[in-house]
Amino acid sequence: MRAEIIGIGTEILLGQIANTNAQEISERLAETGVDVLHHQVVGDNVERIAEAFTQAMERADVVIATGGLGPTGDDITRQGLAAATGATLAYHHEIEGFLREKFARLGREMPESNLVQAEVPTGARYILPDRGTAPGLVVERDGVRVYAVPGVPAEMREMLQGTILPELRELAGEQTIASRVIRAAGVPEARVAELLEDLFAASRNPTIAYLASAGEVRVRLTAKAASRDEAEKLIAPVEEEILGRLGDAVFGFDDDLLEAVLGRMLSDLGLRLACAESLTGGALGARLTDVPGASLTFAGSAVVYTNEAKRDVLGVSPRTLEGPGAVSEECAREMARGARRLYGAEVGLALTGVAGPDEQEGKPAGTIWAAVTGEGGERAHHLLAPGGRDDVRRWAVQAALILLRRYLMDV
């Protein structure tokens, strides 16, 4: 069964809100065994909404649209759906009664504008909501089923779980899709692709896909079968082969975050971490403390943006600052030692570099030095990161975390 998802609302096109509904619907449909082949987003215009429905109905078996079912003038999904299916809008007095009763229970007077929600395309059925006031709509034309549900996430979710998914499970039969994500850090996407080239070329069920971000590559395995257990059995041997090929680069699975994995490693080793940051301005500490329970393993982070702060707070020597400079391996190592000493921690981790856009000390924008120190010794890593200022800072944080993981693995 092929599906298409349509997000309706000019606010999505303007970037004022993120289309999180499409992501959630896609995830739930995959679990049901329905293949999502296309996403669309269309603004509040009847002709364009109708065009989006028409196009989706030509290439999908099921269409799910979110948004545009409210009582205001720009809520025109009803009109667009009617136009696409050759229907007219019919007034349903039972919906009006439902709305008036709902407002009365809340002790509120119903605005007359809400009555537009009682209009339903001819031949369609409606889904009365528990949350909100917008009924969902269900239209069937030429073997294609179209669902239109509210854009408010909680209201969408209610109809997705209560009506759409049960009906699609019945239509699709006993079939599901299972996914497994293998997360690797410190190895380029191109290298991962080389290592898995033959597996990728031969993949049918399960399929293999790559998702890359700064310093991390996710390998997603997706299998379809009659049950989740059977799908997972199809994934297992391919997963085992990939783990063998990627080796120590793999740090976790599915929703595992590198910072959470590092927190567990520090806890298992009975170590506390202290950080020192220059170019990242606290971003390293922020990421480490995003993890619940971080206070058990994270002592603190000193943001030392100037040379004077590096000298006075962390004890970086004037000779280093005047010689190799603040953007150097020597400075990164001294910052890591200083952070460890300042917070009385077992491990010190430091970052220095040039975020850009201009060069510093003759070093180009994107230059990064990370260093880690502790009873297990010291190590440093140099990186020339691509992109703008924000990109460089993200690369720097990731490089420091990868360096810390390698250090902890050795410990």
Q: What is the pLDDT of residues 40-66, one digit of tens each?
A: 999 999 999 999 999 999 999 999 999
Calpha distance 93→100 (Å, rounded):
11
Residue 91 or 29, more confident: 91
Provide the sign of the torsion angle of the four alpha carbons 154, 113, 50, 62, taken in this order. Answer: positive
Per residue in 272-299, pLDDT tens? 999 999 999 999 999 999 999 999 999 9
Whole-angstrom distance, CA of residue 55 vs CA of residue 221: 30
Please provide residue 64's backbone torsions phi and psi, each rounded to the nearest 5 degrees: -120, 120
Sequence-separated (6 or more) residues with CB below 8 Å from residue 5: 21, 22, 25, 26, 36, 38, 39, 40, 63, 64, 65, 66
d(CA 149, CA 67): 6
Predicted confidence at residue 174, as pLDDT, reads 67
Mean per-residue pLDDT for 81-99? 97
Q: Is 75 exposed, middle or buried (0-12, 13-18, 19+ CB in 10 A)?
A: buried
Q: Enter the CATH code of domain 258-410.
A: 3.90.950.20
Task: Write down the domain spans for the chain.
Answer: 2-172, 176-253, 258-410
State phi, psi for 159 to the nearest 5 degrees: -75, -35
End-to-end CA distance of the chain: 51
The CATH architecture of the domain made up of 176-253 is 2-Layer Sandwich (3.30)
Taking residues 140-146, what's their average pLDDT? 96
Average pLDDT for residues 302-309, to the nearest whole number?
A: 98
Let me know: does 302 contact 275? Beta carbons within 8 Å.
yes
Task: Kindly report the number of other CB atoms within 10 A of residue 113's CB atom.
Answer: 12
How far apart are the C-alpha atoms of 238 and 323, rounded to whole Å? Answer: 52
- How many Cα neighbours within 13 Å face the side chain of 263? 19
Q: Which fold has domain 2-172?
A: Molybdenum Cofactor Biosythetic Enzyme; Chain A (3.40.980)
